[in-house]
Amino acid sequence: MKQLFILFLFCVLSSGGYAQSYRERREAMVSRQIEARGITHQPTLEAMRKVERHLFVPSGYREDAYRDTPLPIGRGQTISQPYMVALMTSLLAPQGDDRILEIGTGSGYQAAVLAEIVREVYTIEIVPELGESARETLAGLGYHQVTVVVGDGYRGLPEKAPFDGIIVTAAPETIPPPLLAQLKEGGRMVIPVGPPGAVQSLLLIEKKNGKIRKTRKEHVRFVPFTRSAD
Ligand code: SAH
């Protein structure tokens, strides 16, 4: 009997020992999902090793947080697949002193990844409940360099413009002109463009000598870019 109990105790303790910590899962996520697909931008890789993605998903999805997939965050919206966050961040190529604008706060995860790299992040969310919840999560984790604004991101944030980089995480059918206008000379924008519910193109947009250069990167699938009624 005593031997059985010891065996039982051993099984319980060792199975606990085998469960991967969140940190280990994050490491595995970066090497198997992100580096393995060719992303080499070091600041992006470092940021994604740091940000605790499991704290940005609803509690019922914590165990799935480091899987190779988007996850529901409520209100019909999703937190993007880790690879997509890494790809978009590396295309934006943010640098320490940059001021970045994100449209589509969602969970706040992408904003946190950017905040690990740059000085100031502004992020706009159209669904008030999501914006407020992301604001709380980010403040709770000490991301004070992120400002969450609830509103329609189509208009951008003229009072804080121009931005070194703009990243859009919902897909409009065409590039919103106010966002182009708020991009700094030499700045970069990463944006999925295309019809709602279909495959869209991820575009890298560069503003050089007042001219706009667009490069098509990958086929992607994002939630639609919505507009407020006013
Ligand atoms: N970057 C997010 C992913 C969010 S999904 C993350 O890391 O979790 C896209 C988000 O864009 C959704 O929350 C959606 O509500 C928001 N959105 C859609 N249209 C918008 C608009 N016009 N302005 C601001 N946010 C918008």
Domain span at residue 135 reads 2-220
| C-alpha 225 – ligand 1 centre gap (Å) | 7
Distance from C-alpha of 38 to C-alpha of 17, rounded to nearest angstrom: 32
Please tell me if the CB atom of residue 122 comes closer than 6 angstroms to any atom of ligand 1.
no
Q: Which of 78, 169, 174 to mutate to test the pocket of ligand 1 (most atoms within 8 A of CB)?
A: 169
Closest Cα to residue 137, out of 155, 159, 115? Answer: 115
Please tell me if the CB atom of residue 89 comes closer than 6 angstroms to any atom of ligand 1.
no
pLDDT value of residue 196: 86
Beta carbons within 8 Å of 187's beta carbon, 6+ residues apart: 162, 163, 164, 165, 166, 206, 207
DSSP state of 226: P
Please tell me if the CB atom of residue 43 comes closer than 6 angstroms to any atom of ligand 1.
no
pLDDT value of residue 12: 52
| C-alpha 127 – ligand 1 centre gap (Å) | 8
Please state, in angstroms and as integers, the Cα–Cα distance from residue 180 to each residue in 157, 158, 168, 172, following that order: 12, 11, 12, 13
| Distance, C-alpha 39 to centroid of its chain | 15
**Residue 229 located in a structural domain:** no
Task: Report residue 68: phi and psi, to 5°.
Answer: -85, 60
- Token pair, residue 222, equals 């994002």
**Residue 227 located in a structural domain:** no
pLDDT value of residue 5: 59
The answer to whether the beta carbons of residues 202 and 216 sit under 8 Å apart is yes
| C-alpha 213 – ligand 1 centre gap (Å) | 25
| C-alpha 223 – ligand 1 centre gap (Å) | 8
The answer to whether the beta carbons of residues 169 and 102 sit under 8 Å apart is yes
pTM of the prediction?
0.92
pLDDT value of residue 228: 81
> Which of 14, 31, 59, 80 is an active site residue?
80
Distance from C-alpha of 27 to C-alpha of 48, rounded to nearest angstrom: 9
**Residue 120 located in a structural domain:** yes
**Residue 136 located in a structural domain:** yes
**Residue 226 located in a structural domain:** no
Closest Cα to residue 122, out of 151, 84, 93? Answer: 151
80 is catalytic: yes
Half-sphere exposure (CA, 13 Å, Cβ side) for 72? 4
Please tell me if the CB atom of residue 103 comes closer than 6 angstroms to any atom of ligand 1.
yes
pLDDT value of residue 20: 87
Question: Would you list the DSSP string of 19-38?
Answer: SPPHHHHHHHIIIIIIGGGT
Across the chain, mean pLDDT equals 93
Residue whose Cα lies nearest atom 17 of ligand 1: it is 104
| C-alpha 138 – ligand 1 centre gap (Å) | 16
pLDDT value of residue 6: 61
Q: What is the pLDDT of residues 132-142, one digit of tens each?
A: 999 999 999 99
The answer to whether the beta carbons of residues 111 and 174 sit under 8 Å apart is no
The CATH number given to whatever domain includes residue 158 is 3.40.50.150
The answer to whether the beta carbons of residues 80 and 129 sit under 8 Å apart is no
Please tell me if the CB atom of residue 22 comes closer than 6 angstroms to any atom of ligand 1.
no
Distance from C-alpha of 94 to C-alpha of 39, rounded to nearest angstrom: 14
Number of domains in the chain: 1
Please tell me if the CB atom of residue 170 comes closer than 6 angstroms to any atom of ligand 1.
yes
The answer to whether the beta carbons of residues 173 and 184 sit under 8 Å apart is no
Block means of pLDDT (10 residues each) for the chain, 230 residues, are 58 56 97 98 98 97 97 94 98 97 98 98 97 98 98 98 98 97 98 93 95 95 86
